[in-house]
Amino acid sequence: MKERNLFQIVTIGIIAIWLVIFALIPNIMVFAVSFMERSEESFIKAAFTFENYRAFFSSMYFSIFAASFKMAFITTLICLVIGYPFAFILARSGSRFKSLLALFVIIPYWTSALIRTYAIKVILTTNGLINTFLIKAGVISEPLNMLYTQGAVVLGLVYTLLPFMILPLYAAIDKLDTRYIEASQDLGASRLQTLAYVIIPITVPGIVAGCLLVFLPSLGLFYIPDILGGAKNILIGNLIRDQFLNSRNWPFGAAASNILTIVMAFMLFAYYKSVRAINRRVL
């Protein structure tokens, strides 16, 4: 008994120290920096100010913030609309290989995300795969302008993040007890009614988890807008990176980063509430 307690203390202690060093301290530093001033020589100057936050909400940066959310929202919606039927069919197929099939969803991740994004670029570009094919087939005479559009960014985000939608949905739908569906049918519900009143509500934790796993990264994935969106389609992730690496405005980058963190925290809270409401957990 005593040894086990010691083992627990040591393991939990190590995890706690790890979290303090690599999560808590950096976050506190970012938080502190966001209230400081910029300095040419040493990046930051130890002076207290709200200026960074004020600047964020009053400038064009805020519109980037808003555009990012719109983009992330569209991406999440598309992933959900594609991912739910996909996960549903997979989980309910009754196939012996369904778990293996679900695993296949992440196979693209064996290739670097950067390379896959460049591949999309090759497909979309002016003399890329799609345009060449369509012109050869005689469907169009002029190449379509697909690259460096919002659509291209959304496509890249959806392609990259879809598995993060499918997997939690798959887990939630797979766990859904068939008896709930049978009970619903038994009580006179049609297939559509069963879907709307029983299946979707019970899998809400999976839906919220999937949406979070798509929405949050799509706010921060800066290389996709970089490669597919060009200079016009800057998102919040690009902004934060640029503040740290290009403009060297650490305090401002920290403030933007903090705002993003707070928004994400709210969403995690919403997930927690939805799980509590259903009284079951997916993640």
Partner 1 sequence: MENRKPVVELQNVKKSFDDKTILKNINLTIYNGEFLTLLGPSGCGKTTTLRIIAGFESADSGNVIINGERVNDIPPNKRGVHTVFQSYALFPHMTVYNNVAFGLKMHKVPKNEIKSRVTEVLRIVKLENFADRKPHQLSGGQQQRVALARALVNKPLVLLLDEPLSALDASLRKGMQKELKQLQRALGITFILVTHDQEEALSMSDRVVVMNEGVIEQTGTPKNVYEEPNSVFVAGFIGDINILNGEVLGLGDGGISARVEGRLCAIKTKKSLKIGDRFKLLLRPEDMRIEKLSENPETDGLMIGNVVLKTYKGATLDTLIRLQNGTQIKASEFFDEEYEDFDYNMDEKVSIGWVSGWEVVLPDEGA
| Site residues for partner 1 per CB under 8 A | 177, 179-180, 182-190, 193, 197-198, 201-202, 204, 277-280
Closest contact distance (angstroms) between CB of 188 and partner 1 is 4
Choice between 162 and 202, CB closer to partner 1: 202
From the centroid of its chain, how far is CA 80? 12
**CA pair distance 167, 230, nearest whole angstrom:** 31
Choice between 8 and 182, CB closer to partner 1: 182
Closest contact distance (angstroms) between CB of 65 and partner 1 is 34
- Phi then psi for 39, rounded to 5 degrees? -140, 140
Choice between 51 and 174, CB closer to partner 1: 174
Choice between 39 and 185, CB closer to partner 1: 185
Choice between 203 and 257, CB closer to partner 1: 203
Choice between 85 and 201, CB closer to partner 1: 201
Closest contact distance (angstroms) between CB of 187 and partner 1 is 4
* 3-class DSSP state of 139: coil
The tokens describing 247, both together, are 């403009």
Instruction: Report the DSSP beta bridge partners of residue 38.
Output: 44
Q: ∠ CA 244-249-255 to the nearest 5 degrees?
A: 85
Choice between 150 and 185, CB closer to partner 1: 185
Helix (H) or strand (E) holding 44: strand 43-45
Closest contact distance (angstroms) between CB of 132 and partner 1 is 50
Q: Please check whether residue 240 is in contact with residue 223, taking contact to mean a CB–CB distance below 8 angstroms.
A: no
**CA pair distance 282, 261, nearest whole angstrom:** 23
Closest contact distance (angstroms) between CB of 198 and partner 1 is 6
Rg, the chain, Cα only = 23
Give the residue carrying structure tokens 């009053």: 58
Closest contact distance (angstroms) between CB of 166 and partner 1 is 22
Residue 77 amino acid letter: L
**CA pair distance 253, 36, nearest whole angstrom:** 11
Closest contact distance (angstroms) between CB of 208 and partner 1 is 13
